[in-house]
Amino acid sequence: MLKQTIKKFPLWTASFILIFLVSVYWLFLASDRYVSEANVVLESPQLAPPELSFSSLFSGGSAGTNDMLLLRDYLLSVDMLREVEQRMNFRQHFSDTKIDFFSRLYDKEAYLEEVHQYFLKMVSVELDDYAQVLRIKVRAFSPEMAKDIASFLLERGERHMNLMGQRLAEEQVRFLEKQVKQLNERFTASRQELLDYQNIKGLVSPAGTVESLNAVVAGLEAQLTDLKAKRSTLTSFQSETSPEVVRITTEIRSLTEQIEQERSRMAQQSGDALNVVSSEYRTLELKVQFAQESYSGALAALENTRIEAARKLKQVSVLQSPTLPEYPVEPERLHNSIMFTVVVMFLSLIGHMLMLIVKEHRD
Compute the distance between CA of residue 119 and CA of residue 38 in angstroms, rounded to an integer: 17
Residue 172: what pLDDT? 73
> DSSP state, 36?
E
State the pLDDT at residue 54: 41
What is the C-alpha separation between 177 and 179, in angstroms, rounded? 5
- With 0-12 / 13-18 / 19 or more C-beta atoms within 10 angstroms meaning exposed / middle / buried, residue 100 is middle
* pLDDT for res 48: 45
d(CA 282, CA 277): 9
- Domains, the chain, in order of start with CATH, read 174-308 (1.10.287)
Bridge pairing between strands 123-128 and 34-43: unpaired
* pTM for this entry: 0.62
pLDDT, position 213: 63
Q: Is the peptide bond before 331 cis (omega within 30 degrees of 0)?
A: yes
CA angle 59, 61, 62 (to 5 degrees): 70
Is residue 273 within 8 Å of residue 267, measured between CB atoms? yes
Q: Are the C-beta atoms of 150 and 39 separated by less than 8 Å?
A: no
Per-residue pLDDT at 195: 76
pLDDT, averaged in runs of 10, over the chain (363 residues): 66 88 91 94 60 44 73 93 91 92 89 94 92 92 95 90 74 79 84 75 58 71 78 71 76 77 56 60 79 84 75 75 91 92 92 82 69
**Would you state the pLDDT for residue 65?**
80
Per-residue pLDDT, 60:
46
